[in-house]
Amino acid sequence: MDRINHIKIRTPHPEIVDAFLRQVCEFPDGWAMGGATEVAPDAPLGPGGTLDYAETTGAGTSGPGASPGGFITGDSDSRQFQIFGNDTPRLWAICVATRHIERAHERCVARGIPATPITLADWNERDNIRNFFCLVDGLTFEVIRVEPKATT
């Protein structure tokens, strides 16, 4: 089956994005390329503060130039592209899944990464998604945990 293999990110401070993924979201260690150096485990990764959903660079189908409607391409096996309308082509957010969303949110706050509060979204007939958005070196990330809906 075709699937997303990896994401290539360009940013002025790759060490900050690396530290967010490894030290905050607990991705496995990889390796440095071209002489890059890692950020200390207690170094600030951003200016701090609370992020409002409106500041997540056009959340959903709202914001300047956004239009309603779009597509989800892919499924839970291949992963997905969520494609929304907008006047200017751009990536909106990179979505990271974790079992430890509360811990990731606490680490964002502790390391100075602006983040929204954690919310619960109704996703489909089986699942809810607990999520928050954060800004890491100017890039928007959505951190999620998929949770089965309670059955009665």
Catalogue the E-assigned strands of 2-151: 66-75, 79-86, 94-97, 119-122, 127-136, 139-148
The CA angle 133-139-140, to the nearest 5 degrees, is 20
14-57+93-148 belongs to CATH 3.10.180: yes
pTM value surpassing 0.75: yes
- The per-residue pLDDT for range 64-120, each reduced to its tens digit, is 556 667 888 887 666 788 887 777 777 888 999 999 999 999 999 999 999 999 999
